[in-house]
Chains A and B, each alone.
Chain A
């Protein structure tokens, strides 16, 4: 294991947990503050990734684009009310390049529908993140969610 893992593990783990908790507590706007202004948030299928195909279902190429997406979710988009619970595991700092920490973790998202209470695992996969330690704490330079299934259940409007 990288020596960096021991040194920064708690701070990085906390950053990943903060992201998930903000979404699960319906404070989705707060995730944009964890992304650098020129950072990137991408949700892409393992299917495309394995084939070197560039298309991602969500690709916010700045914190501003992520805020726009969250705004669209709040005021423009129509969907049945639901919320998420993130289950996270296996946080590891696997390397460092020019001050950017390479981080891996696993995620699983359970979606609960507000009207009828239906619950379903809607996504699971690996996060491949790049994190920079700034004076105000660690921030994501890149968050890449690689989801394992080719299938998206109905729609993905709340970010994961």
Chain B
């Protein structure tokens, strides 16, 4: 066959990626009061986030100690897109390892939860202990003097990729970073909000995973956004679980990475401007009377009158108390336009049956079918589609003011969102 050599040369230099270039990105001059829509749509930005945020200087929630109560228990989960395994070793210490054999990269754990004596790779029978150290590689000495691993091979040099692990009040976090400060220092004042809720041993009640077709940041901003809560969510305002007129507040850590909000039901402070505004809000809806309001009956189990507390840590964790419904939410990015939100519902080991049933009935309010919260996923997806290709436009984040401190502790403020983008830009080297 006679093929001109020129055409072969052409084929070799015109691969599908040969002309691809990465668009240099410049953040809007206004800084953290704007979020450009390319930040939610650009695959190159997404790829950098995996490195600079999820594998960067952050502590990421991986589960509850109650999910791995006994030696040998494991849980398979994710940090960013990376599958990791949380284990409890024989000495009851907690470990988190990358879910990937150190030999040829096969996935080790295929079950969500389990109990094992060792981590075992099915491909070539490499075995690891529960701390992630390599203990055995099949046929490492070959057979009859042939094959096998080199004479200088050391088991100790081929363990699994281990992460730093720390737990607080039964929540387990892990980090790829050797530099990030210890967990409690990193959480700062926001750790108080965790200690307030998680004050005794936990009992898992179940799971709900919601697949949201939006960039992970569209969801991460949502529980930091105290402005929307009583406007979008009709259920809150109509039944008085959370209203702008009630006693409420917000706490951030000194770096502004993390935040929690609280509201105390039954503490209405009448004011003319609230009455005037709420009359126009869709969320204060007189037609919305429940036939069976028993679903909203709650016990002040922490004794401080707080009916709702929503706590968010950077970049992927939420702890909620909505009346007696308690849950963690773990945000797992699955590509630039898709995220999973894993809700883990729990109570306490010493709950009586009535309290357990109240938590389960109030489970109807939150999660993927939650009468309060279904709106959040809908809004994230509508935002993502309205951004289109993200090549123009930016969000405007000046509720409460233009600085990291402005807005103070009022919930009618986007202070916590400005602080998110401030930290995001620092981690991403964007300016």
In the bound complex, do residue A78 and residue B232 qualify as a contact, i.e. CB atoms below 8 Å apart? yes
Chain A residue nearest to B239 (CB atoms) is A76
Interface-facing stretch out of B81-89, B161-169, B362-370:
B362-370
In the bound complex, do residue A57 and residue B363 qualify as a contact, i.e. CB atoms below 8 Å apart? yes
Main secondary structure of the interface of B (DSSP, over half): mixed
Within the complex, the shortest CB–CB distance from B56 to chain A, in Å, comes to: 28
Within the complex, the shortest CB–CB distance from B183 to chain A, in Å, comes to: 27
B-side contacts of A155, CB under 8 Å: 210, 368-369, 374, 377-378
In the bound complex, do residue B205 and residue A80 qualify as a contact, i.e. CB atoms below 8 Å apart? no
In the bound complex, do residue B205 and residue A154 qualify as a contact, i.e. CB atoms below 8 Å apart? no
Within the complex, the shortest CB–CB distance from B386 to chain A, in Å, comes to: 12
Q: A55-B360, A154-B381 are in contact. Are A75 and B291 (CB under 8 A)?
A: no
Cβ 8 A contact of B288, one of A57, A71, A156: A71
Cβ 8 A contact of B211, one of A43, A61, A62, A151: A151
In the bound complex, do residue B356 and residue A154 qualify as a contact, i.e. CB atoms below 8 Å apart? no
The 0/1 profile, CB within 8 Å of B marked 1, for residues 116-160 of chain A is 000000000000000000000000000000000011111111000
Q: A76-B235, A154-B381 are in contact. Are A69 and B364 (CB under 8 A)?
A: yes
In the bound complex, do residue A154 and residue B369 qualify as a contact, i.e. CB atoms below 8 Å apart? no
In the bound assembly, the distance between CA atoms of A45 and B367 in angstroms comes to 13
B204 at interface, CB cutoff 8 A: yes
A-side contacts of B207, CB under 8 Å: 45, 47-48, 53, 55, 150
Q: Which residues from 24 to 61 on chain B have a C-beta closer than 8 Å to any C-beta of chain A?
A: none
Q: A76-B234, A151-B211, A155-B378 are in contact. Are A57 and B292 (CB under 8 A)?
A: no
In the bound assembly, the distance between CA atoms of A61 and B363 in angstroms comes to 12
B-side contacts of A55, CB under 8 Å: 205-208, 345, 360, 363
A17 at interface, CB cutoff 8 A: no
A-side contacts of B356, CB under 8 Å: 54
B397 at interface, CB cutoff 8 A: no
A100 at interface, CB cutoff 8 A: no
In the bound assembly, the distance between CA atoms of A154 and B363 in angstroms comes to 17
Within the complex, the shortest CB–CB distance from B335 to chain A, in Å, comes to: 15
In the bound complex, do residue A57 and residue B234 qualify as a contact, i.e. CB atoms below 8 Å apart? no
Cβ 8 A contact of A64, one of B206, B292, B367, B382: B292
Cβ 8 A contact of B291, one of A51, A61, A64: A64
In the bound assembly, the distance between CA atoms of A121 and B375 in angstroms comes to 21
Q: In the complex, which of the residues A53, A61, A67, A76 has the most CB atoms of chain B within 10 Å of its own CB atom?
A: A76
In the bound complex, do residue B212 and residue A72 qualify as a contact, i.e. CB atoms below 8 Å apart? no
A-side contacts of B171, CB under 8 Å: none
In the bound assembly, the distance between CA atoms of A103 and B112 in angstroms comes to 30
Q: In the complex, which of the residues A51, A57, A58, A150 has the most CB atoms of chain B within 10 Å of its own CB atom?
A: A57
In the bound complex, do residue A152 and residue B375 qualify as a contact, i.e. CB atoms below 8 Å apart? no
B310 at interface, CB cutoff 8 A: no
In the bound assembly, the distance between CA atoms of A78 and B371 in angstroms comes to 10
A-side contacts of B364, CB under 8 Å: 58-60, 65, 69
B410 at interface, CB cutoff 8 A: no
Within the complex, the shortest CB–CB distance from A72 to chain B, in Å, comes to: 5
In the bound complex, do residue B287 and residue A75 qualify as a contact, i.e. CB atoms below 8 Å apart? yes
In the bound assembly, the distance between CA atoms of A154 and B368 in angstroms comes to 7
A36 at interface, CB cutoff 8 A: no
Within the complex, the shortest CB–CB distance from B354 to chain A, in Å, comes to: 14
Q: Which residues from 361 to 419 on chain B have a C-beta closer than 8 Å to any C-beta of chain A?
A: 361, 363-364, 367-371, 374-375, 377-379, 381-382
Q: A47-B112, A78-B378, A152-B368 are in contact. List 12 more A-B contacts (CB 8 A).
A: A43-B369, A45-B208, A48-B206, A54-B360, A55-B205, A56-B363, A65-B292, A72-B371, A77-B375, A152-B208, A156-B369, A157-B374
Q: List 28 A-B pairs, Cβ < 8 Å.
A: A45-B207, A53-B205, A54-B205, A55-B205, A55-B206, A55-B208, A56-B363, A60-B364, A65-B364, A68-B291, A75-B288, A76-B234, A76-B285, A76-B288, A78-B374, A78-B375, A79-B374, A79-B375, A80-B381, A151-B210, A152-B208, A152-B210, A152-B211, A152-B369, A154-B368, A155-B210, A155-B374, A155-B377
Q: Which positions in B face A, CB cutoff 8 Å? A: 112-113, 204-213, 232, 234-235, 238, 285, 287-288, 290-292, 295, 340, 345, 356, 360-361, 363-364, 367-371, 374-375, 377-379, 381-382
